[in-house]
Amino acid sequence: MSNHAGKTLTSSGFYVSQEAPIHSDNPIAIPTAPAPDILRCAYMELVVTDLAASREFYVDILGLHVTEEDDQAIYLRSTEEFIHHNLVLRLGPVAAVAAFSYRVRSAEDLDRAVAFYTELGCRVERREGGFTKGIGDSVRVTDPLGFPYEFFYGTEHVERLSWRYDLQIPGELVRLDHFNQITPDVPRAVGFMQSLGFRVTEDIQDGEGVVYAAWMRRKPTVHDTAMTGGDGPRMHHVCFATHEKHNILAICDKLGALRRSDAIERGPGRHGVSNAFYLYLRDPDGHRVEVYTQDYYTGDPDNPVVTWDVHDNQRRDWWGNPVVPSWYTDGSLVLDLDGNPQPVIARSDSSEMAVTIGADGFSYTRAGDEKDALPAWKQGEGAAVSGSGSAPEAPPAPQEFKLGNQL
Ligand SMILES: [Fe+2]
């Protein structure tokens, strides 16, 4: 069990506290310039290597709406969106993320973004005409964590399609919900994002104080982005919300009917963290897309911060279903402002996969369960199965597991 001094154990098995102090031994200096007032995550620019294949995935299968397209890029939006786009698919040589883009409250916040990142010594580029169609004056930076971040206020308004039921499918994606970033040093990343005005809503820690992941928000939901511990900077996923759980099941049914079930990496299921219902897909380039619904309101200033023990087997999946190794190990490269992939730095803290799956890891269902109490068949793909009487053949070695393979 973890040492969670100062936190209150809830009847649900996790801890709550006020703005959990996550300490970094290697903090990024906090600029004296005020941070821009960020409203929400607004869009991601993804570089894809086959525009037709990506169009089939995001438009024909997932049903995102095309605002505009040409032979180099497709601009897509979700049903409730009134700004030009939530996702840009841009043709390029290497699958990667070109921008995590946030909308700010006013045009003046772009000046604040320039001053904030300039003081940090980051590369900053501002374009009055925007970097993508439909978006006005924009600031792009390579942030101190190595991620390409964008800020904009002005945008072309387009029709909100909520009332156009004739255009909607059973698995309709209604909003962009969040990004998820992979970074080697989560406390350092969290401290920096707090200086940018983000609040922590949930995190995963162990008893030694290692932070494995943290969820942070500007809009009043569980997150606009999360920092996931791993080799980075890389992008873990981009996430769209549906209205209901059944919409997610409809996406699974459609993928099955199309013989595209190999696009399903993990789920559907219920998260412990965020309490949302989820599904993880992989697009034709391997970019991970989450579909998610029904997290909770977090907008009060004293919103309780939730801390999960890394060994709680219900933190990633409330039903205790194993997390596939690819979900922990795979991520998309991110680009610098010249379009070159950023070098990836290895995580030196413990890996969540190593401490929870397989021979060196353990997870519990009930607090106080003995180590290794979790049945072998619950311990995840790649875990050794022994003594259950139900495994007549030796299980494949962990390295033999690939995306889509199940025990
Ligand atoms: Fe997510």
Task: List pLDDT tens digits, range 189-216.
Answer: 999 999 999 999 999 999 898 999 999 9
Query: Hey, is 400 helix, strand or coil?
Result: helix
CB atoms within 10 A of CB 65: 21
Tell me the CA–centroid distance for residue 71 and ligand 1, in Å.
Answer: 30
Q: How far apart are CA 379 and CA 356, in angstroms?
A: 8
129 compared with 381, residue with greater pLDDT: 129
Tell me the CA–centroid distance for residue 304 and ligand 1, in Å.
Answer: 20
The reported pLDDT for the residue numbered 205 is 96
Tell me the CA–centroid distance for residue 198 and ligand 1, in Å.
Answer: 16
Tell me the CA–centroid distance for residue 228 and ligand 1, in Å.
Answer: 10
- Round the average pLDDT of the chain to a whole number and report it: 92
How remote is the C-alpha of 128 from its chain's centroid?
29
Q: How far apart are CA 304 and CA 220, in angstroms?
A: 13
Tell me the CA–centroid distance for residue 274 and ligand 1, in Å.
Answer: 9
Q: Say whether pLDDT at 322 is over 80.
A: yes
Tell me the CA–centroid distance for residue 224 and ligand 1, in Å.
Answer: 9
Tell me the CA–centroid distance for residue 292 and ligand 1, in Å.
Answer: 7
Tell me the CA–centroid distance for residue 245 and ligand 1, in Å.
Answer: 15
- Mean pLDDT, to the nearest integer, of 380-406? 46
Tell me the pLDDT band of 399, cut-offs 50, 70 and 90.
very low
Tell me the CA–centroid distance for residue 294 and ligand 1, in Å.
Answer: 12
- Mean pLDDT, to the nearest integer, of 312-340? 96
Find tokens 């922590």 and name the residue.
200
- Six token digits for residue 311: 């060994």
CB 353 within 8 A of CB 343: no
- Mean pLDDT, to the nearest integer, of 279-298? 98
Tell me the CA–centroid distance for residue 276 and ligand 1, in Å.
Answer: 9
- Mean pLDDT, to the nearest integer, of 3-24? 87
- Mean pLDDT, to the nearest integer, of 61-84? 98
Tell me the CA–centroid distance for residue 218 and ligand 1, in Å.
Answer: 15
The reported pLDDT for the residue numbered 213 is 98
Q: How far apart are CA 331 and CA 334, in angstroms?
A: 9
Q: Say whether pLDDT at 263 is over 90.
A: yes
Tell me the CA–centroid distance for residue 248 and ligand 1, in Å.
Answer: 14
DSSP-H helix ranges across 120-213: 186-195
Tell me the CA–centroid distance for residue 5 and ligand 1, in Å.
Answer: 28
Query: Hey, is 235 helix, strand or coil?
Result: strand
How remote is the C-alpha of 375 from its chain's centroid?
29
Tell me the CA–centroid distance for residue 149 and ligand 1, in Å.
Answer: 18
Q: CA of 308: how far to CAs of 86, 224, 313, in Å?
A: 31, 19, 10
- Mean pLDDT, to the nearest integer, of 7-30? 91
CB 248 within 8 A of CB 291: yes
Phi, psi (5° rounding) for residue 357? -120, 145
Tell me the CA–centroid distance for residue 121 and ligand 1, in Å.
Answer: 30
Tell me the CA–centroid distance for residue 223 and ligand 1, in Å.
Answer: 8
Tell me the CA–centroid distance for residue 180 and ligand 1, in Å.
Answer: 6
Q: Which of 99-103, 301-305, 350-354, 399-403 has the lowest mean pLDDT?
A: 399-403
- Mean pLDDT, to the nearest integer, of 366-394? 63
Tell me the CA–centroid distance for residue 153 and ligand 1, in Å.
Answer: 25
Q: Which of 17-21, 57-61, 196-200, 337-341 has the lowest mean pLDDT?
A: 17-21
Q: How far apart are CA 308 and CA 316, in angstroms?
A: 9
The torsion region of residue 121 among left (phi > 0), alpha (psi -120 to 50) and beta comes to left
Q: What is the pTM of this model?
A: 0.93
Q: Say whether pLDDT at 384 is over 60.
A: no
Q: Say whether pLDDT at 390 is over 70.
A: no
User: One-letter amino acid identity for 244?
Assistant: E
Tell me the CA–centroid distance for residue 335 and ligand 1, in Å.
Answer: 21
Rounded percentage of the chain residues whose pLDDT exceeds 70: 91
User: One-letter amino acid identity for 177?
Assistant: D
Q: Say whether pLDDT at 381 is over 70.
A: no
**Minimal CA–CA distance to 112: which of 233, 197, 221?**
197
The reported pLDDT for the residue numbered 391 is 44
Residues in a beta bridge with 281: 264, 289
Tell me the CA–centroid distance for residue 108 and ligand 1, in Å.
Answer: 30
Q: How far apart are CA 128 and CA 236, in angstroms?
A: 30
Tell me the pLDDT band of 361, cut-offs 50, 70 and 90.
confident
Tell me the pLDDT band of 362, cut-offs 50, 70 and 90.
confident
Tell me the CA–centroid distance for residue 57 and ligand 1, in Å.
Answer: 19
Find tokens 């309101």 and name the residue.
297
- Mean pLDDT, to the nearest integer, of 282-298? 98
Q: How far apart are CA 405 and CA 265, in angstroms?
A: 9
Which residues touch 343 (CB under 8 Å, ≥6 apart)? none
Q: What is the pLDDT of residues 138-160, one digit of tens each?
A: 999 999 999 999 999 999 999 99
Tell me the pLDDT band of 406, cut-offs 50, 70 and 90.
very low
Tell me the CA–centroid distance for residue 389 and ligand 1, in Å.
Answer: 36
The reported pLDDT for the residue numbered 382 is 54
The string of DSSP codes covering 250-302 is: HHHHHHHHTT-GGGEEEEEEE-SGGG-EEEEEE-TT--EEEEEE------STT
Tell me the CA–centroid distance for residue 181 and ligand 1, in Å.
Answer: 10
Q: How far apart are CA 339 and CA 394, in angstroms?
A: 46
Tell me the CA–centroid distance for residue 40 and ligand 1, in Å.
Answer: 15
Q: Say whether pLDDT at 394 is over 70.
A: no
The reported pLDDT for the residue numbered 187 is 97
Q: CA of 253: how far to CAs of 114, 166, 250, 405, in Å?
A: 46, 20, 5, 19
CB 103 within 8 A of CB 155: yes
Tell me the CA–centroid distance for residue 259 and ligand 1, in Å.
Answer: 25
The reported pLDDT for the residue numbered 380 is 67
**Minimal CA–CA distance to 271: which of 305, 308, 234?**
308
Q: How far apart are CA 366 and CA 351, in angstroms?
A: 22
Q: How far apart are CA 139 and CA 205, in angstroms?
A: 34
